[in-house]
Each structure stands twice: as C-alpha cells, then as structure tokens.
Amino acid sequence: MKHLLLFLALNCVLFGFSQENQTIEGKNYNLKTLVDGELSLYANANGDKNTFFISFKDQFEKITKNNYKVKYKQLIGHEFESKINQLNFRLRALITFTKQYNLSFKKENNGYLVRLGVFGGVSNTFLFNKPNGLTSDFNDERFTVLGAELEFFSLTKYKRHSLFLQLRQTLDQPDINFNLTQFTINHRFKFINSNKFNMFLETEFISLDFVKFDDVYEENDGSIITNNENSVALETPISFGLGMAYQIAPTVQVAVNYNDFYALAVEDNGETPIDFTLSLKFTL
C-alpha cells in the first residue's frame, strides 16, 4: 500500500493541475492551469475544448481557433512570429509552444531551471554491508529501487554542471524484510553536452540513510528471535556513477544511469556493483 501511495503522490506532482478564477473580456472563467510560467496556458475548467486562455505579465487573453495567432503576437510580441505562424490550434501543440517560449525566456534572462525526474531500477546495495541479523546471501540479492530527484541547472552559466537532490527507496524482497530510504546531495558533470544528448559523471557527496530490517538470531535453547531494527546514518560516500540522457521533447528527457560503482569514503560489500536506473525527467 505504501508503494502505491508513493506512486500516486508522484503522479499528482507531475500531472496535477491548479485552478483559478479570472475575469476576461468582462466574463468570469474558472481556469485550469496547463502550463505555468512567464507565458502561461489555461483550459476552461468546464471542459470547452474550443477555447483556451494565455497570460503574460498578468495580462490574460482568450484564444480560439480564429484568433489565437493574433493574440499570441499581441501578447508576447513578434519575436516568435515565425513559430506562431506554424502553430496549430491543438492542445499538445499549444503546451509545447508555451514551454518552449518559457525556456527561451529563462535562457535569455540567465535564469536557472529546475528539472524533476522519477526513476526505477535494480540494485544490489553495493555500498551497504549486510546487517548481522540478515541472511548470509543478503549481498547477492537484487532489490527494486524507486525514487525522484530535483536537478538545478542553467542553460547559460556553468552549462556542463548541475546539482541535484535525490530521494531513493529500496523496496523489500519477499524473503528479506529490508527497507532502505536515502536522501542524497549530488553533482553532475556533462562531459558530452549537446542539444539533444549528453553523457555525464555523477558524484554523491552526502547521504542520509534510514534503514529498517528484521534482526533474526537463535538463542542457546534453539528458539528463533526476531527484532525490528531501525537506524539512521549520515555519510559522505564520495561515490561515482555514469549516465546518459536524450531529449525526447522540448522539456522531457529520458536517462539511463549506472550508479555508485565506486566510492572513496565508505566500504563496499565486496560484490560486483549492480545499480541501474531508468528515469524520465521534466523541466519545470
């Protein structure tokens, strides 16, 4: 159940829409936010698919299939005129154009951007040694991992560098009650950095670990005792990973990572490091 709740919460972050009331051309509308930024896009909350709304610097305009190009040019000027002339009055096209404009605006104004990512994968917890109470084959196990990250970067300053915060959850195995939650602070260096594709080296500097597991041991009389153990640790692993990302849409990336294959400041469990994740990332 807790895994389902986590999944639903992430989807609410990614796909939830806010609503607000605005008076436009003398009429009150309940607007549903589709894109929030310097240039914002709204839908009519009553479900009218033939009418949308845009705002720029607190000025709102109602757009329809007959006037949307004129309204865009009036609102944001003629700098994007060629792209506006090619713009189709379809929801996906309007969302993509609005996001592209906001990215361009931030780039021109030296703005810093935020990218939200969600990921899943498999790991043998290479940098985590087996607690005494767990089975001897713990280090051979493969655990499912899920998580999310926030990456902070700029398109104009230090373009090859970014900082990101990551929340990572290792899920229980059917035969091993082991739960590891990690909050980490990391750096990403893009040694290949093109418009669509980049490869990068990641360094994990700080890790706050929350561990839960069943400590199982045998008493002298042969009885089996199970205790629920909890621990919290703050570490500076200085661990390294590699990854690559490809931009599949103006604000969407897909990435593959090989994480934590080597660490300078913590002892590993002696196994071959296995920690692969696939992620989807959205520029906010």
Residue 116, both tokens: 């939200």
Identify whether 6 is part of a domain: no
What does R_g of the chain's alpha carbons equal in angstroms? 24
Average pLDDT per 10 consecutive residues for the chain, totaling 284 residues? 47 50 82 88 83 87 90 82 88 90 73 88 77 55 91 82 94 75 95 88 94 69 68 90 90 92 82 90 87
- C-alpha separations of 186 from 106, 127, 245 in Å: 24, 16, 17
Identify whether 4 is part of a domain: no
Q: Burial level of 187, CB count in 10 A (0-12/13-18/19+)?
A: middle
Identify whether 11 is part of a domain: no
pLDDT in tens, 9-65: 444 444 444 567 778 888 888 888 898 888 899 998 877 778 899 998 778 899 999
Identify whether 59 is part of a domain: yes
CA distance 168 to 184: 8
> Are 52 and 84 members of one domain?
yes
Identify whether 233 is part of a domain: yes
Residue 29's domain spans which residues?
16-108
Last residue of a domain, one of 52, 85, 108: 108
Buried b (16+ CB within 10 A) or exposed e, 46-71: eeeeeebbbbbeeebbbbeeeebbeb
> Are 95 and 232 members of one domain?
no
Q: Are 192 and 164 in contact (CB under 8 A)?
A: no
Q: The domain that contains 181 carries what CATH number?
A: 2.40.160.20
Identify whether 7 is part of a domain: no
Identify whether 138 is part of a domain: yes
176 secondary structure, DSSP code: B
What total of structural domains would you count in the chain? 2
